[in-house]
A and B are shown apart, each in its own frame.
Chain A
Amino acid sequence: MSPGLAAALQVAVVVAGLALVHRPLGDHMARVFTSPRHLRAERLVYRAAGVDPDADQRWPVYARSVLAFSVVGVLLLYLLQRLQGVLPGSRGLGGVGPTTAWNTAVSFVTNTNWQSYSGESTMGTLVQMAGLAVQNFLSAAVGLAVAIALVRGFVRTRTDRLGNAWTDITRGTVRILLPLAAVAAVALGAGGVVQSFAADQQVTTLAGGTQTIVVGPVASQEAIKELGTNGGGYFNANSAHPFEGPSAWVSLFQVFLLLVIPFSLPRTFGRLVGDARQGRAILAVMGTLWVLAVGLLTAAELRAAGAVPQAVGAAMEGKEVRFGPALSALFAASTTGTSTGAVNGMHDSFTAAGGGVAMVNMMLGEVSPGGVGSGLYGLLVLAVLAVFLAGLMVGRTPEYLGKKIGRREVTLVALYVLAVPVLLLTGAAVTVAAPGLLDASVSQTGPHGLSEVLYAYASASNNNGSAFAGFNAATDYQNVVLGVVMLLGRFVPIVLVLALAGSLAEQRPLPVTEGSLPTHTPVFVGLLTAVAVVVAGLTYFPALSLAPIAEALS
């Protein structure tokens, strides 16, 4: 079988799986967020937290709830790491350093899961399970809740209420993420992913040296790592590690897991707005962007120039031989497109063009198909922008799903579109320009060194979490600043999205007529795809031209 055919086949397998699952899962998620019933387990949570699950919140309250919840999450996770040395289940590891702990706490709460540390040698079982894995669930649930709140903004009319953040987060965790993760964990375990509380084992290698083999509750964490588009691996090598990604089939299954919720949410959206076609249009845009990324990345890796790649048939550097370049390309495109950041190969070693595609995939703003919840709200914000730009061309003031896009909405969307580039470009520019920072983190020179910096800030500001491993993020400066970038990159857009939802919900719906801009047609899908690409392209092209483009063309 030719590598190209194999690549196409594995994409087909993933697509078939998603096609099968996205409808029932999407419908289920729609039911979860509209059902009036509370489960008994959920009631316990509400009682323990002292919240009224039926209180309908205005957008500022919803936003405050999400922020407060996340701040507490950061604090707890920070303390847990700092106190690791005196807590049980540390596998003998000491407390984590302050800047690393800050960076990691922010990273997991913002669903970024950027890891400036090496998993097996820094975090013990307790931190992994009670800290990192918990945030894997909760950060994903926060994204889900915000997306649902935005959809409610479109659905609801003449109200200032967006639902209840506590209920949404709890339900997302209890009814969606936990059951899915349980099933996935069993499947992963069956596929050979380690799940064990055994102590580290010292083994003597064939060469006669000794090696410490670390095992742990990997499968359970792996499941939510992919499902919640988190990406923080138990091991430093992430899904390339034989205990996290034991075989090509498991790796392919992981690709499916990280795509399944983002690709099912458009169905949920269509369900909630009462027009399945609207959901399909959003799905089509996400799908187009994902297929483009997978296609370009695969082509880049399979047709790499240079003596060695030509000799072995593809660019093999940085790839697991068990997976091969095509599966690594598929994984890379999917992980950067979903804000996951898990890897089964080293992005730093990809071809310049391939690494560039991965970087651009993040710079799109994580909408191909994006993280859990964040992908949907990101794309809906872009849809509002597309409607505003092109909607005028049908001779009406712009409207999306019956809601007018006026001054307030445009302001919020404009700020949303502005927020991440500000973080990304200034962050990268400061690292490059400030004396000493560059040398501390970047060993490479030339365009590739610049790529490493851009990649790091693209990953942090878009809450992806994958890295060009050549970039040393474990300096105090980068730990702190990247933490701030992750935090702002997550919550500034979230607050803007909730404000947008509040502004939309207050409106009276406009009737849809022949004269309204149709937002379910192929033309609109093409328009929205183009807007996503052009907005990112125009913002980042100058920077990219000096880094991956210059590198790829040389």
Chain B
Amino acid sequence: MSVLESPHTPAPHPHAPQAPPARAGAGAFSARQLVAALPDALRKLGPRHQVRSPVIFVVWVGSVLTTVLAVLHPSGFAWSIAVWLWATVLFANLAEAVAESRGRAQAQTLRRTRTETTARRLTADGREERVPGTALRTGDRVVVEAGEVIPGDGDVVEGVASVDESAITGESAPVIRESGGDRSSVTGGTKVLSDRIVVQITAEPGATFLDRMIALVEGSARQKTPNEIALNLLLASLTLVFLLAVVTLQPLAGYSDAQQPVLVLVALLVCLIPTTIGALLSAIGIAGMDRLIQRNVLAMSGRAVEAAGDVDVLLLDKTGTITLGNRQAADLVPAPGVDRRDLADAARLSSLADETPEGRSVVVLAKDEYDLRGTQEGLLDGATFVPFTAQSRMSGVDLVTPDGIRQVRKGAASAVMKWVRDHGGHPTEEVGTAVDAISASGGTPLVVAERTPDGVARTLGVVHLKDVVKEGMRERFDELRRMGIRTVMITGDNPLTAKAIAEEAGVDDFLAEAKPEDKMALIKREQEAGRLVAMTGDGTNDAPALAQADVGVAMNTGTSAAKEAGNMVDLDSNPTKLIEIVEIGKQLLITRGALTTFSIANDVAKYFAIIPAMFMVVHPQLDALNVMRLSTPQSAILSAVIFNAVVIVALIPLALRGVRYTPSSAARMLRRNLLVYGVGGLVAPFVGIKLIDLVVSLLPGIG
């Protein structure tokens, strides 16, 4: 976590397990947005825009054709059909425009931060020169001081500063950026709050993170994803099938002395081709990206979002993702003959000066479990604190008591035991077994000892430090398992510790003592077996693995190399979010599939509306197919056309929000979605067309 916060408080994971309702869900959607998007939708009516979607292009051609026919042979019916076909095209544009407008609003906010900045560039001889931000090139070094805006993306090469990144992340707490290490990258447009840093520019103007982000949320950089292309191909071929069915119908109708007006054939064609999904397809894609952005995740391509739905294996870093991040005192094991409370007190005293997370957790444990707070008046008078150092590997306090100096020590088992032994104690007999037991269970033992004024040391007991698994992670992993996703925990711990945590967290597998190469090898192995792998990473040494993974989510706090290598960036730098990204990917695909199924299932009812209407004159017996009992042939055809148009608008919210998604097995999801969108798609238009017919039949000249 980069955010300046006390290491105590568990990281603020907005979607942490306690709040499972925070599913891949909706942004608000209102009718106002529809109205606001209308001008855009009208602009898209030109043929150049329409050609991109073959299905809607056919409708567009049909609209032009019917308009010409209506002009040549005006009638209420002809004009109604023409108007509603135009409405169909308009509604399709509307869907896309609404989806884009939501992104555009975000882009607007972002653009405001991309103000013209003046950069203080360092010349080769170390002097400073003032140049406009746009003149910066990769490799330039610039100085930024408190109160100034960072002129471009880059890495801090000198100094440390707190930076306000709220423009990008929306997070108001400032973050620390320093040279070297994994927190060196800064983003153009963010503001330095304190200190002075030198930044080496890593992106050309126009290609900065902010620029890319604007392009992404605006949808201008949107390319069709592989699955979208395949689906478009299928929709195009379905359109061809129906075109064929309608074109060849005319001679067959001619044989039956039921030659149809072109107007009616166009209406039939438009009703049959999959306009619903054709109209909503691009909106679904844009909305999927948008849902990620609402969760502060930037996907560099739609392809990555799609791949997220297909992920089979999640590689999760233990620290910060599965566990709270630091070892914490979980239990106290007193040595024989020592009161547990005395142990707690000693452990606490020795930790008061220990600013490491482990030390603090001991104080917290003593407070929570043994109600030891505050310190006895005068106890610490004249006391000397011994801070933890890497050499001594222990911390403690020397207390001044009436009898002399009392030393209390707490630290790594071997160090403290040696200290006790050096001062005439017998640590092994006293706590040896406890230390071994804790080590064997994957925990870390901290031995607490004291040396009384008589000069002899003894151990008081052992503090059991362990990694604390975040609450609710086990349920989350069970859920993932039901979705067919395997979780692998990556940790630098030894295999014993790793196994213990893996079991406690309920992950399927773990990789212990993991080096970056191991991670890379694991990813390649999984991919070799045909599995798609997702991972998160932040360090420069994660970059190759991030690039190799099918879904690589880089933390925003990470290095530019990591962000460059991944195909998504999480602005909140919350590794748990990987799970949500997978869910959003799945929801995107489900929405596409559901609306495709719905669209095709709709055709059955439209046939039952239009076919009897077309041929009732020559074959009155076909009235038996008019199961909806639509009032007249004209109202039947018009009602089907209107339904076809209106259903697009009705489904825009669903397309933008995504269909309801609860993690479950594929079999269950298929059953549910087939029932809702397959059977529902079969039944809904029968009801809808009938209702529209009841209204339409009141119109003069049609009813």
A residues at B contact (CB < 8 Å): 388-397, 402, 405-407, 409-411, 414-415, 417-418, 421-422, 425-426, 428-430, 432-433, 438, 446-447, 449-450, 508-511, 513-518, 521, 523-524, 527, 530, 534, 537-543, 545-547, 549-550, 553-554
Contact A414 B484, beta carbon cutoff 8 Å: no
Contact B607 A541, beta carbon cutoff 8 Å: yes
Contact B483 A511, beta carbon cutoff 8 Å: no
Contact A541 B611, beta carbon cutoff 8 Å: yes
Known: A513-B484, A517-B670. A550 touches B621 (CB 8 A): yes
Contact A410 B234, beta carbon cutoff 8 Å: yes
Within the assembled complex, what's the spacing in Å between the Cα atoms of A397 and B255? 45
With a CB–CB cut-off of 8 A, which chain A residues contact B592?
392
Given known contacts A390-B673, A393-B674, A410-B233, what 13 new A-B pairs fall within 8 Å (CB)?
A389-B234, A393-B670, A395-B483, A395-B661, A407-B233, A421-B245, A432-B252, A433-B251, A511-B529, A513-B485, A521-B667, A523-B674, A550-B256
Contact A405 B530, beta carbon cutoff 8 Å: no
Chain A min CB distance to B248 (Å): 4
Determine which of A393, A414, A515 lies in contact with B483 in the assembled complex, contact meaning CB atoms within 8 Å: A515
Question: Whose C-beta in chain A lies nearest to the C-beta of B677?
Answer: A393
Q: Contact flags (1/0) for B530-557 with A, using CB distance below 8 Å?
A: 1100000000000000000000000000
Provide a sorted-by-A list of 19 A–B residue pairs whose CB atoms are within 8 angstroms.
A390-B673, A392-B594, A395-B589, A395-B669, A406-B227, A407-B226, A409-B230, A417-B241, A418-B240, A511-B312, A511-B531, A517-B670, A534-B604, A539-B244, A539-B245, A542-B245, A542-B607, A549-B625, A550-B621
Within the assembled complex, what's the spacing in Å between the Cα atoms of A26 and B255? 47
With a CB–CB cut-off of 8 A, which chain B residues contact A410?
230-231, 233-234
Q: Contact flags (1/0) for B623-649 with A, using CB distance below 8 Å?
A: 011000000000000000000000000
Contact A389 B677, beta carbon cutoff 8 Å: no
B400 within 8 A of A: no
Known: A397-B227, A421-B244. A514 touches B596 (CB 8 A): no
Chain A min CB distance to B662 (Å): 11
Question: Whose C-beta in chain A lies nearest to the C-beta of B242?
Answer: A538
Within the assembled complex, what's the spacing in Å between the Cα atoms of A550 and B624? 10
B50 within 8 A of A: no
Contact B481 A450, beta carbon cutoff 8 Å: no
Determine which of B230, B481, B600, B619 lies in contact with A554 in the assembled complex, contact meaning CB atoms within 8 Å: B619
Q: Is the interface of A mostly helix, strand, loop or mixed?
A: helix
With a CB–CB cut-off of 8 A, which chain A residues contact B250?
429
B75 within 8 A of A: no
Within the assembled complex, what's the spacing in Å between the Cα atoms of A309 and B226? 58
**Which chain B residues numbered 455 to 491 have a C-beta less than 8 Å away from chain A?**
481-486
With a CB–CB cut-off of 8 A, which chain B residues contact A517?
666, 670
Chain B min CB distance to A288 (Å): 16
Contact B241 A421, beta carbon cutoff 8 Å: yes
Contact A516 B230, beta carbon cutoff 8 Å: no
B residues at A contact (CB < 8 Å): 226-227, 229-231, 233-234, 236-238, 240-242, 244-256, 258, 268, 272, 306, 309-310, 312, 481-486, 529-531, 585-587, 589-590, 592-594, 596-597, 600-601, 603-604, 607, 611-612, 615, 619, 621-622, 624-625, 661, 665-667, 669-671, 673-674, 677-678
With a CB–CB cut-off of 8 A, which chain A residues contact B312?
510-511, 513, 515
Within the assembled complex, what's the spacing in Å between the Cα atoms of A510 and B484? 12
Contact A393 B603, beta carbon cutoff 8 Å: no
Contact A425 B248, beta carbon cutoff 8 Å: yes
Chain B min CB distance to A377 (Å): 19
With a CB–CB cut-off of 8 A, which chain B residues contact A389?
234, 593, 596-597, 600
With a CB–CB cut-off of 8 A, which chain B residues contact A509?
530
Chain A min CB distance to B176 (Å): 38
Within the assembled complex, what's the spacing in Å between the Cα atoms of A524 and B667? 9
Within the assembled complex, what's the spacing in Å between the Cα atoms of A415 and B667? 29
Contact B230 A407, beta carbon cutoff 8 Å: yes
Contact A515 B241, beta carbon cutoff 8 Å: no
Known: A388-B230, A514-B665, A540-B245. A397 touches B310 (CB 8 A): yes
Contact A406 B245, beta carbon cutoff 8 Å: no
Contact A518 B531, beta carbon cutoff 8 Å: no
Question: Whose C-beta in chain B lies nearest to the C-beta of A446?
Answer: B256
Contact B254 A538, beta carbon cutoff 8 Å: no
Contact A426 B230, beta carbon cutoff 8 Å: no
Q: Please list the 3 inter-chain residue pairs (A to B) with the smallest Cβ-Cβ separation, ordered nearest first.
A: A515-B484, A392-B593, A395-B586
Chain B min CB distance to A440 (Å): 14
Contact B256 A447, beta carbon cutoff 8 Å: yes
Contact A450 B666, beta carbon cutoff 8 Å: no
Contact B244 A392, beta carbon cutoff 8 Å: no
Chain B min CB distance to A447 (Å): 7
Determine which of A510, A541, A543 lies in contact with B248 in the assembled complex, contact meaning CB atoms within 8 Å: A543
Contact B611 A395, beta carbon cutoff 8 Å: no
With a CB–CB cut-off of 8 A, which chain B residues contact A508?
530
Of B254, B589, B593, B677, which is in contact with the most chain A CB atoms at under 10 Å from its CB? B593
Within the assembled complex, what's the spacing in Å between the Cα atoms of A499 and B669? 32
Question: Whose C-beta in chain B lies nearest to the C-beta of A396?
Answer: B310
Within the assembled complex, what's the spacing in Å between the Cα atoms of A534 and B600? 9
Contact B619 A546, beta carbon cutoff 8 Å: yes
Within the assembled complex, what's the spacing in Å between the Cα atoms of A396 and B312? 10
Within the assembled complex, what's the spacing in Å between the Cα atoms of A426 and B244? 8
Contact B242 A407, beta carbon cutoff 8 Å: no
Determine which of A421, A515, A538, A540 lies in contact with B665 in the assembled complex, contact meaning CB atoms within 8 Å: A515
With a CB–CB cut-off of 8 A, which chain A residues contact B240?
418
Chain A min CB distance to B252 (Å): 5
Contact B254 A433, beta carbon cutoff 8 Å: yes
Contact A396 B621, beta carbon cutoff 8 Å: no
Within the assembled complex, what's the spacing in Å between the Cα atoms of A49 and B671? 52
With a CB–CB cut-off of 8 A, which chain B residues contact A518?
666-667, 670
Contact B621 A414, beta carbon cutoff 8 Å: no
Of A407, A426, A542, which is in contact with the most chain B CB atoms at under 10 Å from its CB? A542
Within the assembled complex, what's the spacing in Å between the Cα atoms of A541 and B231? 24
Contact B252 A450, beta carbon cutoff 8 Å: yes
With a CB–CB cut-off of 8 A, which chain B residues contact A397?
226-227, 306, 309-310, 589
With a CB–CB cut-off of 8 A, which chain A residues contact B306?
397
Contact B530 A538, beta carbon cutoff 8 Å: no
Of B268, B485, B587, B621, which is in contact with the most chain A CB atoms at under 10 Å from its CB? B621
Within the assembled complex, what's the spacing in Å between the Cα atoms of A509 and B528? 10
Within the assembled complex, what's the spacing in Å between the Cα atoms of A530 and B251? 29
Within the assembled complex, what's the spacing in Å between the Cα atoms of A530 and B673? 15
Question: Whose C-beta in chain B lies nearest to the C-beta of A431?
Answer: B251
Contact A391 B244, beta carbon cutoff 8 Å: no
With a CB–CB cut-off of 8 A, which chain B residues contact A418?
237, 240-241, 244
Contact B615 A394, beta carbon cutoff 8 Å: no
Question: Whose C-beta in chain B lies nearest to the C-beta of A425?
Answer: B248
Contact B258 A390, beta carbon cutoff 8 Å: no
Contact A426 B670, beta carbon cutoff 8 Å: no
With a CB–CB cut-off of 8 A, which chain A residues contact B229?
407
Chain A min CB distance to B349 (Å): 52
With a CB–CB cut-off of 8 A, which chain A residues contact B612?
545
Question: Whose C-beta in chain A lies nearest to the C-beta of B583?
Answer: A395
Determine which of B233, B246, B309 lies in contact with A414 in the assembled complex, contact meaning CB atoms within 8 Å: B233
Within the assembled complex, what's the spacing in Å between the Cα atoms of A314 and B621? 23
Determine which of B227, B252, B666, B677 lies in contact with A516 in the assembled complex, contact meaning CB atoms within 8 Å: B666
With a CB–CB cut-off of 8 A, which chain B residues contact A550?
256, 615, 619, 621-622
Question: Whose C-beta in chain B lies nearest to the C-beta of A553?
Answer: B621
Contact B590 A429, beta carbon cutoff 8 Å: no
Within the assembled complex, what's the spacing in Å between the Cα atoms of A422 and B242? 11
Question: Whose C-beta in chain A lies nearest to the C-beta of B249?
Answer: A542
Within the assembled complex, what's the spacing in Å between the Cα atoms of A346 and B2? 83
Of B245, B268, B530, which is in contact with the most chain A CB atoms at under 10 Å from its CB? B530
Determine which of A415, A514, A524, A554 lies in contact with B237 in the assembled complex, contact meaning CB atoms within 8 Å: A415
Within the assembled complex, what's the spacing in Å between the Cα atoms of A438 and B252? 11
Within the assembled complex, what's the spacing in Å between the Cα atoms of A340 and B97? 54
Chain A min CB distance to B684 (Å): 16
Contact A395 B587, beta carbon cutoff 8 Å: yes
With a CB–CB cut-off of 8 A, which chain B residues contact A530?
678
Determine which of B244, B590, B611 lies in contact with A394 in the assembled complex, contact meaning CB atoms within 8 Å: B590
Contact A546 B310, beta carbon cutoff 8 Å: no
